[in-house]
Amino acid sequence: MASAALQALIFDVDGTLADTESVHMAAFNHAFAEAGLDWVWDVALYTELLDISGGKERILHYWKQVNPDIKAINGQALGDKISRIHELKTAAYESAVNSGAVSLRPGVLKIMDEALKTGLQLAIATTTSPVNIAALMRHAIGSDWRLNFSAIGDASTAPIKKPHPQVYLQMLDAMQLPARQCLAFEDSSNGLRAATAAGIATVVTPNSFTAHHDFTGALKVVPDLSQVNLQQLRQWHAAWAR
């Protein structure tokens, strides 16, 4: 059997790398107004909707709630409408990130730097769009941010959203590593379920939108990564892998 020594860290994006959800919520509301819809998602509603992974999927789910007769609408026309709303939302989110509305959560950059200096691989496993990832990481790390990551999985590469493990399985394949040599970082129950279904030990850093989730099965649940170092992560992982 191959060594279980830690070889890679795999990060979710929204809510894990950065507290993005309030900015996403505002971007959705901006898009609804631009599209001529009277929808307004407040914190309580958006917290519920976060159980649905993926922005387009979230819009469709809500549309079905407010319009039970949705089946009477042409499927292609509905799909086009949702895609347009999501494009407006993505543009609004990217603009907000570029203006400095979002920053990485405490300790994230420190852990990444430690990992890279000691030869660990970094990867991203998310259900968000490539545009959203690029906007966040470019603002936080710089234009060469992609050079830090061995593999990136997102909504364009993994159409089956979390809690399905598709995106994590893709990252394991891309890095050519077994699950037992990796450690995942998530903030939500869906993310935790996706990572653990792929056989990856998972550290959870909840936020205000996910604090109520069930994190049974997590390796550790910590407020953020500010009080965590790579040595601790190695110890936690080694104890799990024994």
Question: CB–CB of 203/218 below 8 Å?
Answer: yes
Please say if 12 is a catalytic residue. yes
What residues contact residue 227 under an 8 Å CB cut-off, 6+ apart? 107
Strand partners, 121: 8
What residues contact residue 230 under an 8 Å CB cut-off, 6+ apart? 111, 114, 115, 118, 120
**Main-chain phi, psi angles of 124, to 5 degrees:** -120, 135
Continuous segment of H or E residues that includes residue 3: none
What residues contact residue 55 under an 8 Å CB cut-off, 6+ apart? 24, 28, 86, 89, 90, 128, 129
Q: Burial code of 143-154, b = ≥16 C-beta within 10 A, e = fewer?
A: eeeeebbbbbbb
Question: CB–CB of 217/190 below 8 Å?
Answer: no
Catalytic residue from among 12, 19, 154, 187: 12
Nearest-10 Cα torsion for 70, 54, 180, 151: 130
Please say if 14 is a catalytic residue. yes
Catalytic residue from among 14, 19, 154, 187: 14
Question: CB–CB of 200/168 below 8 Å?
Answer: yes
Catalytic residue numbers read 12, 14
